[in-house]
Amino acid sequence: MSTTASTPAPLYGGASGRRVSVRDILQAKERHERWPMLTAYDALTARVFDESGIPVLLVGDSAAMVVYGYDSTLPVTVDDLLPLTAAVSRATRRALVVADLPFGSYQGSPEQALDAAARFMKEGHAQAVKLEGGQRVAHHVEALVAAGVPVMGHLGLTPQSVNTLGGYRVQGRGEEAGAALLADAKELERAGAFSVVLECVPTELARRVTEQLTIPTIGIGAGPRTDAQVLVWQDMAGLSPQVATFVKAYADLNETLSTAARAFADEVVQGAFPDTEHSYD
Ligand SMILES: Nc1nc(=O)c2c([nH]1)NC[C@@H]1CN(c3ccc(C(=O)N[C@@H](CCC(=O)O)C(=O)O)cc3)CN21
Ligand SMILES: CC(C)C(=O)C(=O)O
Ligand SMILES: [Mg+2]
């Protein structure tokens, strides 16, 4: 007699022969399970994170900064992000791949949002999209979900609004701002979003939102009481030169890579590389 139907594998730490689904994500909330999410922008790192069991990978518009070298997320386009999304999808077998809709690709109308989302799903092979905002994008979320596109919301510090927010600062401080953020989160859930990112908000507010929603919350600078946590992978691995207070670096890739580059350069200058072992007869 099989008992597998009554004991689903956890999102992280459980084997799975198939890709994680939005349904798996919603069921993890019912089990009060915490799970990790990372960004990914290329095949090799996406494969590493997929094989490490990270259940959700986000092709973030943060690519504008960590891949393309801009100083905000605003300049990046659908055409810039599509090839990165396709690479992440090709390189992964298990992770749910979420495509971040870039600034200007969805705000105009629900129809515009569906056009952008369809490109990420048809050409980027993503399984879901993410967009920033609450009540102001509720109709966009409804249209996407009605068309069969799973939507991840994003509240708090929404970097595409950096020019109206006046910088990358903590959001939702104080009774009024906190109540507005909670209302936005409930509106996203009502519109059919399957999860919501909470960026740079006080711990207690994130805890309250997490408790009041039936969809998972994914924190970044939102304290420990969200259902999931996300970091930009270059921040997580110690490659980013400047990071926010909420970042913890779990490796020192900046040091590792610069040491390797200098060792290679020194051996080239000395004539020690390549030796016979790395040359053809
Ligand atoms: N590499 C990278 N990591 C990210 O997390 C990230 C990006 N890029 N690009 C898009 C946005 C921008 N993000 C940021 C950038 C800076 C702060 C920051 O410096 N925040 C201040 C808070 C100041 C306050 O108290 O209000 C800090 O000191 O942490 C926060 C989020 C998060 N996102
Ligand atoms: C940090 C996450 C949530 C994001 O939106 C991004 O990487 O673009
Ligand atoms: Mg983003």
Mutate to test the pocket of ligand 2, among 56, 59, 67, 73 (most ligand atoms within 8 A of CB): 73
Binning pLDDT at 50, 70 and 90, where does residue 5 land?
low
In Å, what is the CA distance from 74 to each residue of 63, 138, 162, 163, 189?
10, 21, 9, 10, 26
Q: Which ligand is nearest to the CA of 38?
A: 2
pLDDT tens for 191-243 read 999 999 999 999 999 999 999 999 999 999 999 999 999 999 999 999 999 99
| Catalytic residue, candidates 187, 189, 199, 211 | 199
- Could you tell me which residue, 1 or 242, shows the higher pLDDT? 242
Question: Measured from the CB, is residue 158 less than 6 Å from ligand 2?
Answer: no
Atom of ligand 1 nearest to the CA of 66: 1
pLDDT of residue 6: 61
Q: What is the mean pLDDT of the chain?
A: 97
CA separation for the pair 221, 197 (Å, rounded)? 10
Mutate to test the pocket of ligand 1, among 70, 168, 253 (most ligand atoms within 8 A of CB): 168
Beta carbons of 249 and 238 less than 8 angstroms apart: yes
Joined tokens for residue 35:
């799970």
273 pLDDT exceeds 70? yes
CA separation for the pair 40, 49 (Å, rounded)? 8
User: Count H helices, E strands: the chain?
Assistant: 11, 8
Question: Measured from the CB, is residue 232 less than 6 Å from ligand 2?
Answer: yes
120 pLDDT exceeds 60? yes
CATH topology of domain 4-250: TIM Barrel (3.20.20)
Binding-site residues, ligand 1, Cβ < 6 A: 62, 65-66, 73, 157, 159, 168-170, 200, 232, 234-235, 240, 244-245
Name the residue at shortest CA distance from atom 7 of ligand 2. Answer: 60
Helix or strand holding residue 155 (H, E) = strand 151-156
Neighbouring residues of 175: CB distance < 8 A, sequence distance ≥ 6: none
Q: Are strands 96-100 and 128-130 parallel, antiparallel or unpaired?
A: parallel
Helix, strand, or coil (residue 108): coil
| Per-domain boundaries in the chain | 4-250, 251-281
pLDDT of residue 16: 72
pLDDT of residue 8: 82
pLDDT tens for 244-255 read 999 999 999 999
The residues that bridge with 35 in the sheet, in sequence order, are: 228
Active-site residue, 199 included: yes
State the first-to-last Cα distance of the chain, in angstroms, to the nearest integer. 62
CA separation for the pair 57, 93 (Å, rounded)? 11
Instruction: Find, among 56, 158, 155, the residue nearest to 99 by Cα.
Output: 56
Interface pTM, i.e. ipTM? 0.98
pLDDT of residue 3: 52
Binding residues: 61-62, 100, 130, 132
pLDDT tens for 136-194 read 999 999 999 999 999 999 999 999 999 999 999 999 999 999 999 999 999 999 999 99
